[in-house]
Amino acid sequence: MPRWLPRAMVLALGLYASFQLASWAFHQLIGLLINILIAFFLALAMEPAVGRMAARGMRRGLATFLVFLSVLVVGVGFVVLLGSMLAGQIIDMVEDFPKYLDSVIRWINGVFHTELSRVDVQDSLLRSDWLRKYVQNSASGVLDVSATVLGGLFQLLMIFLFSFYFAADGPRLRRALCSVLPPAKQAEVLRAWEIAVDKTGGYIYSRGLMALISGAAHFVLLEILGVPYAPALAVWVGLVSQFIPTIGTYLAGALPMLIAFTEDPWYALWVLGFVVVYQQFENYVLQPKLTAKTVHIHPAVAFGSVVAGTALLGAVGALIAIPAVATLQAFFGAYVRRYDVTDDPRVHGHHRPRARRALARMRGALRHGRTARDTGASGPGGSSQEA
């Protein structure tokens, strides 16, 4: 046996064990890493406001606390307002449920010539096995729902803590990162950090602008239909549809449809149709233009980055894909050597004039030769035909 073979085998086994350990640790910590990534982009979004307050003499920790406190107060107030509104509407729906049931039963009796009554429907529903199984499953799933809610609150608290530390200790974090790099690399890291702050702020600005436009459009519709709580519902649609990716549109449209249904079922259909039409307008007209102007990336690149982010990290990837791609594009664009484009008509989508003239001369020559052959064929003695 060669002397190097045992060492090679031990080295191979050690590398394999290290790879398995690293893979196991990565899968165990994937949730923590995603939360840290969300916290980092949240800190980048708040960096401009914190930086302005710190530039005016305020301590950076206090400035970060005030920014987070304002965001928390606005968020909690909005949730409490919507919660009270939704609770009132649910109570009204429960009280008016017998009226809805009577109208449905009258419609069924008139169309299908049946003799149903509300008492029969209630008795059959209360005695059904489906209701009993549903109540048992709901009772057993209360603990699962509670654990899910507590887990979500813990993750939200973790994200806020990390984002607070990233925003409050941003200069210290940059100094610690630059201290282990040579001066040339330090300039690149600081430039990448600045670009990330700029692009993330632009993305938040574009999302806020689209939320404002969406809320205004839905407010006009709800006011025309006479749906109650139109301002709160418009704010709900604007914020949820823009800042919750993938399913935000459906969550945003469900609540106005529910409130509109309590007024008139046809109003719910109107709201549904408007939500679908406006979503198409936003996806294909509004969002590409605003994203291209604020984040400075092509609409096709923005759409592809959202699809790729969703495939990699789900809803989190869809939320941070556009600022991440914009940051990478702006950073690497500084290292791509560019040249002046020649003044060629083909660059602007036109054909070359010389090529046009050459093609015209070729067509003229072919047309002249065809005319000469026709003239020779009709000449005396048919010499051209004999030739």
Neighbouring C-beta atoms of residue 294, cutoff 10 Å: 20
Token pair listed for 269: 């259909």
Measure the N-to-C terminal CA separation of the chain; round to a whole number of Å. Answer: 91
Neighbouring C-beta atoms of residue 105, cutoff 10 Å: 17
Domain ranges of the chain: 32-131+146-180, 183-334
Are residues 215 and 288 in contact, defined by beta-carbon separation less than 8 angstroms?
no
Characterise 212 by phi-psi region: left (phi > 0), alpha (psi -120 to 50), beta (else).
Answer: alpha
Token pair listed for 228: 């109650």
Rg (CA), the chain: 34
Query: What is the residue-level pLDDT of the chain in tens, covering all 387 positions?
Result: 788 888 889 999 999 999 999 999 988 888 888 888 888 888 888 888 888 888 888 888 888 889 888 888 887 887 777 677 667 766 776 777 777 777 777 888 888 877 777 777 667 766 666 666 766 665 555 566 667 777 778 888 888 888 888 888 888 888 888 888 888 788 888 888 887 787 777 777 788 888 888 888 988 998 898 887 788 788 888 888 887 755 677 778 888 888 888 777 788 889 889 988 888 888 777 777 776 666 667 667 777 777 787 778 776 777 777 777 777 777 676 666 666 766 666 666 655 555 555 556 666 666 666 666 666 555 544 444 443
Are residues 233 and 218 in contact, defined by beta-carbon separation less than 8 angstroms?
yes
Of 83, 77, 82, 54, which is closest to residue 66 (Cα–Cα)?
A: 54
Helix pair 183-225, 287-294: axis angle to 10 deg: 150
Distance CA(312)–CA(318), nearest Å, equals 9
